[in-house]
Structure 1
Amino acid sequence: IQGLANLGEKKLILFVILLLCYIVILAGNSMIIFLALTDPKLTSPMYFFLYNLSFVDMVYTTTTIPNMLSGFLTDMKTISVPGCFLQMYFFIQLAVTSRAILTAMAFDRYLAICNPLRYTTIMTRPVRLVLVAGAWGFGIFCTLPATTMSWLRPYCGPNVVRHGWCDLSSVRQLVCGDTSVDNIVSISFALVALLTTGVLILTSYVLIGVSISRMGVVQRLKAFGTCAAHLTVVSISYNSNNLSLSFRKKEQGVRIIVSVLYSALTPFLNPMIYSLRNKELQESIGRTLSRLRPAAVSATRNINTVSLERN
């Protein structure tokens, strides 16, 4: 994997930036998962979908960033052929799964605002599990055909992937043969993934907007507050995807940097957006810190006591 081998000393700067981003991604999303699983007040379906999204974001970035970080420290990063195709598959599949979970969250917000009286009876735990399982299944459905076709193609020439990881289009350039059918299949399933999730999310928010227009001022503000974080994340996710596509034909180094930023941007911002815009999550963070503080103080006292006894 060639990566950014031509950047020279600038690689160290990018290494530090990417490492810090990865640490923030792991810490922020781990915090959301921990809070959603341990705080009894965060039991609503929204937090169920949120910690599933955080888990997907963590695994999604882990498929590429650690490998890229090690590549920054060497001139050329080597990866096995099975490892390359596994990385390619999980990178695409988790990206689609993330969009599908955002779609499930949009449906959850639609029910909460447009049908609040039946919300708890409709959005039961089995329904939530089905929606998350459907998100993973949709990701597999949109990813498997293109990656399987790439795996079955003959590779008899160059073995250098001109990208930061095993990107599907970059690996396909190494195929010894015609790949026009592969390109059509990839574009078709990419459009299915983008349009299906995009149309469903847009439909949910159009219906939410119609419902909000009939409410009073106080109800409107409350409804907007429940949707603000999710709507912000969706906007960033789709806009960053458009940004990545617009740089696809640029210089290789620029294209790779933009691709890295695109893949890390949403997982990086998700915890911050939900922490800043969600009052319940802020209160949960406060409760968790207040619980951990006495435990830390007690542990410190025990250590000091043991030290004094030994002296």
Structure 2
Amino acid sequence: MHKNNVTELIIIGLFQDPGVQRVCFVLFLPVYLATVVGNGLIVVTVNFSKSLGSPMYFFLSYLSLVEISYSSTVVPKFITDLLAKIKIISFKGCLTQIFFFHFFGVTEIFLLTVMAYDRYVAICKPLHYTTIISRPVCRLLVASSWLGGLVHSMIQIFVTIQLPFCGPNVIDHYFCDLHPLFKIACADTSVEGVVVLSNSGLISVVSFFLLVTSYIVILVNLRSHSAEGRRKALSTCASHVMVVVLFFGPAIFLYMRPSSTFTEDKLVAVFYTVITPMLNPIIYTLRNKEVKNAMRNLWCKKDSDSE
């Protein structure tokens, strides 16, 4: 372990202007609350509604749980920092934030891939669906997603703690991430940068390839379905595709190219740390009659029970 003189870090933040920061606070606080409430509603609805017993909703409830956790590793600190003159985080706190950010982020990537596999089996092998995607298999796929996220995150942290941090302690970002932290290390980080890029990049590219492949196969298969069957299958897939594009687009833009200090990078990061987790429950519920009906039934039942 290298000598490390840095015990706390100063975060530059998203914008320097105090007025703009206050406006951001007013904008982002409701967005974060909507993320927690919206995804929380999905978790509760899926777990308490008998009509949402299919594997698709089982995976959706875990995706929503991961969304809440993923957003909560960055956004609460970011929002409170918007009102602070000097934004400080301890070095250990910074490493903790990086660990959980990557843990939940990669778990989400794996869950999205699992959900694409679920749609592929449902549409391309409907007669064998219940045997292939049985409840034990669902649990195994979810557990594997969490485990994959954990292994990925441990590698990222192991690479980072090997580096010496001896002087500069100002991070040019609004939360702790690997590229901004590597810039203030007192050593050449090109090798570590390659390890981190291949670790994040390989997972993103392979998962994205699997997702695209599964949807190409689904589209080819749908040609033999009736018009009504095609419409129903496409409506369940469309929500998933929208979520995948919203999540992977910005992430690939940031991690699959050399890092820079542009404000655009921070704004792109805002999109996938703050905005996307809020949009997911909206996308899944607005496009899905079963989820909307289940929510209505569940809350109407609760209202009648409380009367």
Fold equivalence (TM over 0.5): yes
1:151 pairs with 161, 164, 182, which one? 161
Which stretches of structure 1, 4 residues or more, deviate above 6 A after TM superposition? none
Q: Which residue of 2 aligns with 1:65?
A: 75
- Counting only pairs closer than 5 Å after superposition, residues 11-22 of structure 1 correspond to structure 2 as 11-22=21-32
Residue 68 of structure 2 is aligned to residue 91 of structure 1: no
1:38-74 residue CA offsets vs partner (Å, 9 max, x unmatched) = 1111110001100100011100010011101111111
- Structure 1 residue 174 displacement after superposition: 1.4
Cα pair 1:39 1:284 within 8 Å, conserved: yes
1:271 pairs with 262, 272, 281, which one? 281
Cα pair 1:88 1:147 within 8 Å, conserved: yes
Aligned pair in 2 of structure 1 residues 224, 57: CA closer, same or farther (>3 Å)? same
Q: Which residue of 2 aligns with 1:255?
A: 265
Cα pair 1:142 1:192 within 8 Å, conserved: no
- Structure 1 residue 147 displacement after superposition: 2.1
Structure 1 runs not aligned, ≥5 long: 299-311
Structure 2 runs not aligned, ≥5 long: 1-10
Equivalent-residue separation in structure 2 for 1:72 and 1:222 (angstroms): 44
- Counting only pairs closer than 5 Å after superposition, residues 62-141 of structure 1 correspond to structure 2 as 62-141=72-151
Equivalences, count? 296
Aligned pair in 2 of structure 1 residues 29, 128: CA closer, same or farther (>3 Å)? same
Equivalent-residue separation in structure 1 for 2:246 and 2:175 (angstroms): 23
Equivalent-residue separation in structure 1 for 2:288 and 2:272 (angstroms): 24
1:129 counterpart letter in structure 2: R
- Structure 1 residue 236 displacement after superposition: 1.8
1:229-274 residue CA offsets vs partner (Å, 9 max, x unmatched) = 112211222223355568964634x432331222222211111011
Greater radius of gyration (CA): 1
- Counting only pairs closer than 5 Å after superposition, residues 109-258 of structure 1 correspond to structure 2 as 109-242=119-252, 244=254, 249=260, 251-252=262-263, 254-258=264-268
Cα pair 1:143 1:189 within 8 Å, conserved: no
Aligned pair in 2 of structure 1 residues 225, 255: CA closer, same or farther (>3 Å)? closer
Equivalent-residue separation in structure 2 for 1:295 and 1:282 (angstroms): 20
Higher RCO, Cα 8 Å, sep 6+: 2
- Structure 1 residue 7 displacement after superposition: 2.0
Aligned pair in 2 of structure 1 residues 186, 244: CA closer, same or farther (>3 Å)? closer
Cα pair 1:5 1:76 within 8 Å, conserved: no
Equivalent-residue separation in structure 2 for 1:262 and 1:60 (angstroms): 10
Cα pair 2:36 2:68 within 8 Å, conserved: yes
1:268-293 residue CA offsets vs partner (Å, 9 max, x unmatched) = 11110111111100111110221122
Q: 3-state DSSP class of the match of 1:229?
A: helix
Equivalent-residue separation in structure 1 for 2:64 and 2:190 (angstroms): 36
- Structure 1 residue 5 displacement after superposition: 5.6
Which has the larger displacement, 187-196 or 270-279? 187-196
Cα RMSD, aligned residues only: 1.7
Cα pair 2:111 2:142 within 8 Å, conserved: yes
Equivalent-residue separation in structure 1 for 2:268 and 2:260 (angstroms): 11
1:279 counterpart letter in structure 2: K
- Structure 1 residue 79 displacement after superposition: 1.5
Q: Which residue of 1 aligns with 2:19?
A: 9
1:157-191 residue CA offsets vs partner (Å, 9 max, x unmatched) = 01121211111111111111111110110111122
1:202 counterpart letter in structure 2: V
2:82 counterpart letter in structure 1: F
Cα pair 2:94 2:176 within 8 Å, conserved: yes
Aligned pair in 2 of structure 1 residues 247, 293: CA closer, same or farther (>3 Å)? farther
Cα pair 1:247 1:255 within 8 Å, conserved: no
Cα pair 1:154 1:177 within 8 Å, conserved: yes
Q: Which residue of 2 aligns with 1:31?
A: 41
Residue 53 of structure 2 is aligned to residue 43 of structure 1: yes
Equivalent-residue separation in structure 2 for 1:15 and 1:257 (angstroms): 15
